[in-house]
Amino acid sequence: MVDVVTKRNIHSPLERVAEYAANPDNAPEWYVNIQSAEWKTEKPLSVGSQIAFKAQFLGRELAYVYEIVEYIAGEKMIMRTAQGPFPMETTYTWEAVDENTTQMTLRNRGNPTGFSKMAAPIMSAMMRKANKKDLDKLKNILEINS
Domains of the chain: 2-145 (3.30.530.20)
Cα–Cα distance measured from residue 135 to residue 73, given in angstroms and rounded to the nearest whole number: 19
Whole-number pLDDT of residue 119: 65
| pLDDT at residue 65, rounded to an integer | 92
Is the model's pTM score more than 0.85?
A: yes
The secondary structure of residue 26, as a DSSP letter, is: G
Quick one: how far is CA 86 from the chain centroid?
15
Digit-coded pLDDT (tens) for 56-82? 876 778 888 999 999 999 999 999 996
Buried residues in 104-140 as b, exposed as e (16+ CB within 10 A): bbbbbbbebeeebeebeeebbeebeebbbebbeebbe
What is the CB neighbour count within 10 angstroms for residue 53? 21
Cβ proximity of 76 and 93 under 8 Å: yes
The answer for residues whose C-beta is within 8 angstroms of residue 89's C-beta and 6 or more apart is 69, 78, 79, 80, 108, 109, 110
3-state SS, residue 127? helix
Lowest mean pLDDT among 20-24, 69-73, 82-86, 97-101: 82-86
